Amino acid sequence: MDKLYTKDTQAIFWNNNTTAIQRMLDYDYTIKRKTPSVAAIVAPTSGNKFEKFFYGPDEIMIPLFKTTAAAKAAQPQADVLLNFASFRTAYDVTMEALNLGGFSSIMITAEGIPERLARGMNEFARNKNVTVIGPATVGAIAPGAFKIANIGGTIENIVQSKLHRTGSCGLVTRSGGLFNELSNIIAINADGIAEGVAIGGDRFVGSVFIDNLLRMEKNPEVKYMILLGEVGGTEEYKVIEAMKDGRITKPIIAWCIGTIAKHFSSGVQFGHAGASANADAETAAYKNIAMAEAGMHVPESFNALPNKIKEVYEKLKADGVITEIAEPDMNVCPKVRKSKEFICTISDDRGDEATYAGFPISSLATPDTGKGIGDVVSLLWFKKQYPKWATDFIETVIKTVADHGPAVSGAHNAKVTARAGKSVVESLVTGLLTIGPRFGGAIDGAAQYFKYADDNKLSPADFLNHMKKEGVPIPGIGHRIKSLKNPDLRVEGLKKYANEHFPSTSLLDYALTVEQLTTSKKENLILNVDGTIGILMVDMWRALGYSEEEINEFISSGTLNAFFIVGRSIGFIGHVLDEKRLAMPMYRHPMSDILYDVQEAEKI
């Protein structure tokens, strides 16, 4: 890996830090990235599925997950973890990600992770060849490609500091605040940076100066490097060694801050937790001398650093190592943006013609398009173009459930309401409101329970025992009069269609083994029409390539019930119109049909 990040790098952001994420997306928009740099957010306590962000003037949704594992499974290409967990959990989050694998770098922002944990974590990451940036850092940036969270500050400052496009300098600092400042100095005195890392202020950080400088040595965009060290520690000496043995050949401009410390014997902590000199070699003054002797470009003071940068840059330019950089086109983020209250992902009426999931209505409506109601359902409900066998099945289901006579409770309610003089819509919804766990709900229940039994590899006997323990009669099993010998022809039709047209019918096959067992106990315990529909819907989705989790979500969100609602609305409207035609009077239930058992209320 000779570059930390590219323009295709995507991250999983651990913690829904909306301000920092928005800054990343503003950056992405400014530099015209094709994909947002944040592919997923891990928010363990959020119940939401996504978070809205601005992308330039528009809004985009970034998916939210409860765990890193789920986020990684959904966005496997995202190989950077931005760990914004608190110091209490940052260690666990990092270790989980390292064990999951698939991350090339992990950035940790928390300050004050217990030192022993930090050491173990850093070592583990090194063995797994994962670059750790931090802990206690503002992050890193590959200008023109990828920027972590708040590094670089506001978008105005980023552009002013030329952090929106690749320059020639590789920058490594300990301090995050001075990183910004150095970027600005480099923009003023040279041509900006190619890659920059603030390694973090804690005593034990993952990647140290040498790790980052060795990578930059290999990065052809980096022509020279700037190292801003600090009093304390001996990391700068590793860089000196690398210069001596030839692993680093590019020019390095270096300075260690904290020269003030020599004036004060003890008691004053200048700077970070890692910044405390325990020996002469760890003082800033000593390190500055050593770095100069090793051949690095060391200014006489921090205040003289800009001139030193200018001098080295101009020399490299005169030598032809650095050439003039063409300033790229940028997008400009609007200053004022308003978040949208509603989101629609299925249809759009803004163009010449309204569309269903991208298809103009006229391309679906007339018979010559070859499209049916099943196609419309697949577009508007599932945002997919289902194959013909599936749309035909959907239509078969709708036709099959359209009506079941006037006596069922929903139809009865609709008829009673119509006779009370109410409108079509009022009568219809009265009927629809009856649909639920007892009326029409067997489709949902059958899909849910049979799928559970199949997923868990329960034998038919185990399944029956399980349902007995639950105290629930198996949904989708049993008919008032029909039996194996006297089969329900609607069921036979559905089964026949599925056998002929479905690529596979695994759940139906399982359900039929259950039916063999139940009918051996009692003849009318057959797989009924509700059960068959629910089960075949699962088989349809399986054959269409949906994951088991997605199918479970269809079931729990009530999608199966929705097929029943659509179909049965046709029947209810029929009954309501029937009542209107017949002009039957207001209905009153006969008293003779009611058991009256009213006692005088007791005093309490």
Residue 202 in contact with another protein, rule: CB under 8 A? yes
Residue 238 in contact with another protein, rule: CB under 8 A? no
Instruction: Catalogue the active-site residues.
Output: 272
Residue 171 in contact with another protein, rule: CB under 8 A? no
Q: Which of 60, 70, 100, 178 binds another protein (CB under 8 A)?
A: 178
**Rounded distance, CA 360 to CA 460, Å?**
47
Q: Which is nearer to another protein, 184 or 207 (CB)?
A: 184
Q: What tokens appear for 358 in the block?
A: 């991208």
Residue 184 in contact with another protein, rule: CB under 8 A? yes
Find the Cα–Cα–Cα–Cα dihedral 472, 478, 484, 487, rounded to 10°. Answer: -150
Residues 79-98 contacting another protein, CB under 8 A: 87-88
CA proximity to 400, closest of 530, 502, 573, 539: 530
**Rounded distance, CA 283 to CA 288, Å?**
9
Q: What tokens appear for 352 in the block?
A: 């010449």
Nearest-approach distance from CB 241 to another protein, in angstroms = 14
Q: Which is nearer to another protein, 248 or 257 (CB)?
A: 257
Residue 203 in contact with another protein, rule: CB under 8 A? yes
Q: Which of 66, 116, 244, 388 binds another protein (CB under 8 A)?
A: 116
Residue 185 in contact with another protein, rule: CB under 8 A? yes
Nearest-approach distance from CB 218 to another protein, in angstroms = 24
Residues 269-288 contacting another protein, CB under 8 A: 269-273, 275-276, 284
Sheet holding 139-142, edge to edge: 146-147, 139-142, 193-198, 169-173, 224-230, 252-257
Sheet strands (E) in 211-326:
224-230, 252-257
Q: Which is nearer to another protein, 157 or 459 (CB)?
A: 157
Q: Which is nearer to another protein, 161 or 448 (CB)?
A: 161
Residue 137 in contact with another protein, rule: CB under 8 A? no
The residues, any chain, with a CB within 8 Å of residue 459's CB and separated by 6 or more, are: none
Residue 86: φ, ψ to 5° = -70, 170
Residue 30 in contact with another protein, rule: CB under 8 A? no
Residue 177 in contact with another protein, rule: CB under 8 A? yes
Q: What is the DSSP string of 30-75?
A: HTT-SS-SEEEEE-TT---SEEEEEETTEEEEEEEESSHHHHHHH-
Q: Which of 117, 429, 484, 565 binds another protein (CB under 8 A)?
A: 117
Nearest-approach distance from CB 179 to another protein, in angstroms = 8
Find the Cα–Cα–Cα–Cα dihedral 500, 502, 505, 508, rounded to 10°. Answer: -70
Residues 141-170 contacting another protein, CB under 8 A: 150-154, 157, 160-161
Nearest-approach distance from CB 137 to another protein, in angstroms = 12
Residue with tokens 């094709």: 34
Residue 237 in contact with another protein, rule: CB under 8 A? no
Exposure string for 19-46, b = 16+ CB within 10 A, e = fewer: ebbbbbbbbbbbbebeebbbbbbbbeee
Residues 289-348 contacting another protein, CB under 8 A: 301-303, 305-306
Q: What is the DSSP string of 398-415?
A: HHHTS---S-SHHHHHHH
Q: Which is nearer to another protein, 174 or 568 (CB)?
A: 174
Number of residues engaging another protein in binding (CB under 8 A): 63
- In this structure, the number of other CB atoms found within 10 A of the CB of residue 315 comes to 14
Nearest-approach distance from CB 100 to another protein, in angstroms = 20
- Direct distance between the N- and C-terminal alpha carbons of the chain, in angstroms, rounded to an integer: 82
| Alpha helices in 545-587, H assignment, sequence order | 548-556, 559-582
Q: Which is nearer to another protein, 232 or 445 (CB)?
A: 232
Can you say whether the dihedral through the CA atoms of 573, 575, 578, 580 is positive or negative?
negative
Residue 264 in contact with another protein, rule: CB under 8 A? yes
Q: Which is nearer to another protein, 127 or 345 (CB)?
A: 127
Which chain residues interact with another protein by CB under 8 A? 19, 87-88, 112-117, 119-120, 123-124, 127, 138, 150-154, 157, 160-161, 173-178, 180-181, 184-185, 188, 201-204, 230-231, 234, 257-260, 263-264, 266-273, 275-276, 284, 301-303, 305-306
